[in-house]
């Protein structure tokens, strides 16, 4: 459980920022969460800034390691003058263990599982005295894959990225997203999470007024973050046609929830009424890719698929007992493994076959599309079209 202070005066920037944005699987949007609650900002807990707070150009970030990553002003907001910068972990004022003990109870272990090494928490305030503030939590991970994985976890949040209320892409860093009162920026080993708060505004007003300032701060921060903007190889390999905006989730390990399967990306796709997912694994060596296929082949009910790439199989996966089963066709070409499967977020258990057919690709459709996708990803030229005059 998150430990919430009982009074406004007792709320530290760390406590409510971690409460709002350093939440893990237990606090993200679950499959049972009401749609209208997704991406909404947490209850406001910050005292309003006075008019003219940014007259001197804003405050500074007291952190010799990453202080220069933060813009002083953006979108009419500025770093809080005399603001208290919280730094944790590597070369920070406090230890990573203190993140766990001062703000959350156990949940930070999930962040650590992605390789969390450091955290910096700062606050921006409204220079016009409108009562708004933005908390920014900048986390540093051991490698870009861990940071990108955590970014996609926060954006997808176990929900459907094709939903109208899902976070929308913004141009910031290597990847950015804007939700209702929240923003996210990824680049290299860094993830920034932004939360807008204003105790003077209604939820509807927050939705409207938060977007410009969150976008401005995210763009400024994304422009200063060092490191590569290139996504992990498995995410880059995913086909772009019909990919839902921000519809990629990256797993640094155990993609598809399968132990020892290793890193991979899952893309969410929509083609008319059809919904599907594509899983992508990219290995440095063909033998390692073969081992991954061998691991999949050991799952109960898996069947071979003939004449598809170097090797292929058909298997059934199920996220949980109360979720519908998803059928996948998986193929390997050299070091690349692709699998195309059903989108279980749009199919209800026990739904009539006719309705499922409107939403899912058939096995033959999966095989046909998969053959094209995996050959393209492996750099194999498409076969020349047959001469129309020949019979």
Sorted by sequence, the CB contacts under 8 Å of residue 358 that are 6+ apart come out as 273, 274
What is residue 107's predicted lDDT score, i.e. its pLDDT?
65
Sorted by sequence, the CB contacts under 8 Å of residue 119 that are 6+ apart come out as 22, 86, 87, 88, 89, 92, 96, 99, 137, 138, 139, 140
What is residue 99's predicted lDDT score, i.e. its pLDDT?
75
What domains sit in the chain, N to C, each tagged with a CATH number? 8-224 (no CATH), 233-377 (3.40.1000)
What is residue 17's predicted lDDT score, i.e. its pLDDT?
38
Contact 279, 341 (CB under 8 A): yes
Q: What distance lies between CA 301 and its chain's CA centroid?
A: 31
Digitized pLDDT (tens) for each residue of the chain, 391 residues in all: 333 333 333 334 333 333 333 333 333 333 344 443 344 444 444 444 678 899 999 999 999 999 999 999 999 999 999 899 999 999 999 888 887 766 444 568 788 899 999 999 999 999 999 999 999 999 999 999 999 999 999 999 889 999 999 999 999 999 999 999 999 999 999 999 999 999 999 999 999 999 999 999 999 999 999 999 999 999 999 999 999 999 999 999 999 999 999 999 999 999 999 999 999 999 999 999 999 999 999 999 999 999 999 999 999 998 777 778 899 999 999 999 999 999 988 877 677 767 777 889 999 999 999 999 999 998 887 655 444 334 3
pTM reported for the whole predicted model = 0.85
Nearest alpha carbon to residue 345 among 39, 35, 26: 35
What is residue 322's predicted lDDT score, i.e. its pLDDT?
76
| Pairwise CA distance, residues 169 & 179, whole Å | 9
Neighbours of 320 (CB within 10 A): 9
DSSP 247-266: EEEEESS-GGG-TT---EEE
Q: How far is CA 115 from CA 58, 150, 248, 252, 277, in A?
A: 32, 10, 20, 10, 26
What is residue 106's predicted lDDT score, i.e. its pLDDT?
54
DSSP 176-223: EEE-SSEEEEEETTEEEEEEEE-TTS-HHHHHHHHHHHHHHHHHHHHH
Contact 114, 146 (CB under 8 A): yes
Contact 243, 377 (CB under 8 A): no
Contact 97, 144 (CB under 8 A): no
Contact 225, 185 (CB under 8 A): yes
């Amino acid at each position: 459980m998150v430990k919430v202070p009982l009074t406004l005066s007792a709320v530290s920037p760390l406590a409510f920022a971690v409460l709002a944005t350093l939440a893990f699987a237990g606090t993200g949007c679950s499959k049972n969460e009401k749609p209208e609650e997704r991406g909404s900002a947490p209850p406001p807990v910050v005292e309003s800034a006075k008019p003219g707070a940014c007259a001197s150009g804003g405050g500074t970030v007291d952190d010799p390691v990453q202080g220069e990553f933060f813009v002083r002003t953006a979108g009419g907001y500025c770093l809080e003058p005399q603001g208290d910068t919280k730094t944790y972990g590597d070369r920070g004022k406090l230890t990573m263990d203190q993140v766990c003990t001062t703000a959350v109870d156990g949940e930070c272990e999930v962040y650590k599982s992605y390789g969390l090494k450091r955290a910096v928490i700062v606050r921006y305030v409204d220079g016009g005295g409108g009562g708004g503030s933005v908390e920014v939590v900048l986390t540093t991970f051991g490698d870009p894959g861990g940071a990108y994985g955590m970014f996609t976890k926060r954006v997808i949040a176990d929900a459907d990225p094709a939903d109208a209320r899902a976070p929308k892409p913004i141009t910031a860093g290597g990847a950015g997203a804007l939700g209702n009162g929240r923003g996210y920026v990824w680049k290299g080993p860094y993830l920034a999470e932004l939360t807008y708060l204003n105790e003077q505004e209604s939820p509807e007003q927050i939705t409207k007024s938060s977007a410009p300032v969150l976008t401005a701060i995210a763009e400024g921060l994304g422009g200063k973050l060092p490191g590569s903007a290139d996504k992990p190889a498995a995410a880059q390999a995913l086909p772009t046609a019909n990919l839902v905006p921000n519809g990629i989730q990256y797993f640094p390990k155990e993609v598809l929830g399968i132990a020892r399967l290793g890193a991979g990306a899952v893309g969410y796709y929509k083609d008319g009424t059809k919904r599907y997912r594509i899983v992508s694994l990219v290995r440095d060596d063909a033998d390692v890719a073969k081992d991954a296929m061998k691991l999949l082949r050991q799952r109960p009910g898996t069947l071979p698929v003939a004449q598809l790439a170097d090797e292929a199989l058909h298997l059934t996966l199920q996220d949980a007992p109360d979720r519908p089963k998803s059928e996948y066709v998986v193929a390997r070409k050299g070091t690349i493994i692709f699998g195309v499967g059903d989108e279980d977020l749009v199919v209800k258990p026990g739904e009539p076959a006719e309705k499922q057919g409107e939403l899912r690709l058939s096995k033959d459709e999966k095989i046909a599309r998969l053959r094209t996708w995996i050959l393209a990803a492996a750099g194999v030229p498409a076969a020349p079209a047959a001469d129309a005059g020949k019979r």
